[in-house]
Structure 1
Amino acid sequence: MDKVYEAALLLDFYGQLLTKRQFEILDFYLNNDYSLAEIAEQLNISRQGVYDNIKRGRAMLDRMEEKLGLVHKFLQQKDIALEILNDIKSIDVSNMSVEDAETLKRVEEKIGKIVES
């Protein structure tokens, strides 16, 4: 998995457990693609301060994931939902009743929403 994507997921899951400053800096860095210099200018702190906050914040996110594993579980469930979606798409609906085919289509759409999130 892409490291930036993984870090952004960690921030989504655990970001509110960081200090306000760490969250703000990591949000700028990961979600808005700001450079260290841009963040430093925006927050009126040094680039070293930005770097230190990113490093400490990321370490805290990693520790939380190591202990709780929420991102890992989320990604596993997303993979399973994708497998289910692929299985549903492979079902031959020509021998089904109209009602069953419509129900299957609704299930497919709902699982598709899970996979896209």
Structure 2
Amino acid sequence: MIEKKIRLGNLFIFYGQLLTRKQQEILKLYYIHDLSLGEISENLGISRQAVYDTLKRTEKLLEEYEGKLGLLNKFLKTRCKINELLVNIDYLIEDIDKNFDRNYVLEKINDLKKMTLEILEESS
């Protein structure tokens, strides 16, 4: 359930502006403010079933947007590659501290540059 909340929260960040205000409001109340269906229906003056139906339709709609546009997936892949890049930079710093070999360092810097260019190419 927590993973679903995180995923829908992320989808909402990317695609929330494509939803109606009512859909945005219900999604925020349910997933961000953690209100129950009954509490939301009471606050908005609509039936519990209407809240449930709106949530399910909106969740499906967000997944459809992601299926077509893939912005969240692209973001997560880019983030993962940047983390990998940072780890490699840390390793290079450790290697420099242990044994400074100019050619080795230049080779590793070139590898990091290639990784950075790959990230930029995939992001555009």
TM-score between both structures, scaled by the size of structure 1: 0.75
- Amino acid of the residue matched to residue 57 of structure 1? T
Alignment match, 2:36: 35
Alignment match, 2:5: 4
Alignment match, 2:118: none
Aligned-residue identity in percent:
44
The alpha-carbon deviation at position 31 of structure 1 amounts to: 1.5
Alpha-carbon distance in structure 1 between the residues aligned to 2:90 and 2:41: 49
Q: Are 1:84 and 2:91 counterparts?
A: no
Alpha-carbon distance in structure 2 between the residues aligned to 1:81 and 1:35: 38
Alignment match, 1:46: 47
The alpha-carbon deviation at position 33 of structure 1 amounts to: 1.4
- Amino acid of the residue matched to residue 68 of structure 2? K
The alpha-carbon deviation at position 34 of structure 1 amounts to: 1.4
Alignment match, 1:110: none
Alpha-carbon distance in structure 1 between the residues aligned to 2:30 and 2:89: 39
The alpha-carbon deviation at position 65 of structure 1 amounts to: 0.5
Q: Write the deviation string for residues 79-108 of structure 1: whole angstroms up to 9, x where unpaired.
A: 11111111122222535xxxxxxxxxxxxx
Alignment match, 2:115: none
CA RMSD, 1 decimal: 1.7
Alignment match, 2:17: 16
Alpha-carbon distance in structure 2 between the residues aligned to 1:38 and 1:8: 20
Larger radius of gyration: 2
Matched positions, count: 96
**Structure 2 unmatched runs, 5+:** 101-124
Q: Write the deviation string for residues 46-75 of structure 1: whole angstroms up to 9, x where unpaired.
A: 111100110111111111100000000011
